[in-house]
């Protein structure tokens, strides 16, 4: 099978924005009187902003009205954006730029499929917007991963059949979303967590189109 498109998740695949999400969520937790530990943060990976807040409040054992929750999510995002505005191309994860260039040169389409509503800004900050033929972010989907909507929309915008797409994902729900969309999936991270993926890699260093051919 010849792959025609690669669809990338953003946080945990192209950049590590999880650390900034953590700092902003922990600031909110402290304001509310409790500590949000790094291990709790693992539960937020690939999860939407609203769902992340619900998980944080579950950890703190607190309940609030929808209006209060909306205010909190907005405040957290303002704090998060302070970090994002300081991001530079140095924060692109190792090997990613080389792989994106290789895909471009081989004529393989490239899309982003992220739950983040800040994805276009992050791509701009790290100066890689020009690589993407389509960007599907949290503003363009109504169903969260493991629903395949984000990846199916990306394939549609690229004009490529899902069976000819491969998704790169660091979150379990993202791997499920890719498989639910009848796509191939390469997990980026730990094989124990991402065991449903067709292949798991630790990152893009030493990864190239040749390795992609082997799984597709
Ligand atoms: P925002 P991804 C996800 O990005 C993050 O992993 C997750 O922690 C975050 O809550 C979500 O984006 C929403 O982000 O608040 O910026 O809209 O992994 O889907 O690229
Ligand atoms: Mg991710």
Please report the pLDDT score of residue 1 as a whole number: 56
Farthest-apart Cα atoms in the chain, separation:
54
What fold does the segment set 5-16+91-215 form as a domain? Rossmann fold (3.40.50)
- Closest ligand 1 atom to residue 44 Cα is 8
What are the sequence ranges of the domains in the chain?
A: 5-16+91-215, 18-84
Q: What pTM was computed for the model?
A: 0.96
Please report the pLDDT score of residue 213 as a whole number: 80
Give the pLDDT of the chain (216 residues) as one tens digit per residue: 589 999 999 999 999 999 999 999 999 999 999 999 999 988 898 899 999 999 999 999 999 999 999 999 999 999 999 999 999 999 999 999 999 999 999 999 999 999 999 999 999 999 999 999 999 999 999 999 999 999 999 999 999 999 999 999 999 999 999 999 999 999 999 999 999 999 999 999 999 999 888 777
CA 13 to centroid of ligand 2, rounded, Å: 6
In DSSP notation, the chain reads: ----EEEE-SBTTTB--HHHHHHHHHHHHHHHTS---HHHHGGGTT--HHHHHHHHHHHHT----HHHHHHHHHHHHHHHHHHHTT--GGGBPTTHHHHHHHHHHTT-EEEEE-S-TTHHHHHHHTT-GGG-SEEE-TTS-SS-TTSTHHHHHHHHHHT--GGGEEEEESSHHHHHHHHHTT-EEEEES-TTTTTTSSEEES-STT--HHHHHHH-
Q: Which residues line ligand 1 (CB under 6 A)?
A: 9-12, 21, 44-49, 52, 77, 114-118, 138, 171
Q: Which residues contact 190 (CB under 8 A, 6 or more apart)?
A: 200
- Return the CATH class of domain 18-84: mainly alpha
CA dist 56 and 38 (Å) reads 12
Mutate to test the pocket of ligand 1, among 49, 112, 117, 174 (most ligand atoms within 8 A of CB): 49
175-199 in b/e burial notation, b at 16+ Cβ within 10 A?
Answer: bbbbbebebbbbbbbeeebbeebbb
């Amino acid at each position: 099978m010849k792959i025609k498109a690669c669809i990338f998740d953003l946080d945990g695949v192209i950049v590590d924005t999880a650390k900034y999400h953590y700092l902003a969520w922990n600031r909110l937790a402290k304001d509310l009187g409790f500590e949000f530990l790094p291990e709790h943060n693992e539960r937020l990976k690939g999860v939407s902003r609203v769902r992340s807040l619900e998980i944080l409040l579950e950890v703190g054992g607190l309940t609030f009205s929808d209006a209060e929750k909306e205010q909190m999510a907005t405040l957290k995002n303002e704090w998060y954006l302070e970090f994002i505005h300081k991001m530079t191309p140095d924060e692109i994860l190792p090997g990613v730029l080389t792989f994106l260039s290789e895909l471009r040169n081989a004529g393989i389409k490239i899309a982003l499929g992220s739950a983040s509503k800040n994805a276009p800004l992050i791509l701009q900050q790290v100066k890689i917007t020009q690589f993407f033929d389509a960007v599907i972010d949290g503003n363009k989907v109504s169903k969260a991963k493991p629903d395949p909507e984000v990846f199916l929309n990306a394939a549609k915008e690229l004009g490529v059949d899902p069976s000819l797409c491969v998704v790169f994902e660091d979150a379990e729900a993202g791997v499920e979303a890719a498989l639910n969309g009848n796509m191939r999936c390469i997990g980026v991270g730990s094989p124990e967590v991402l065991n449903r993926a067709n292949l798991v890699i630790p990152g893009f260093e030493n990864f190239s189109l040749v390795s992609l051919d082997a799984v597709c």
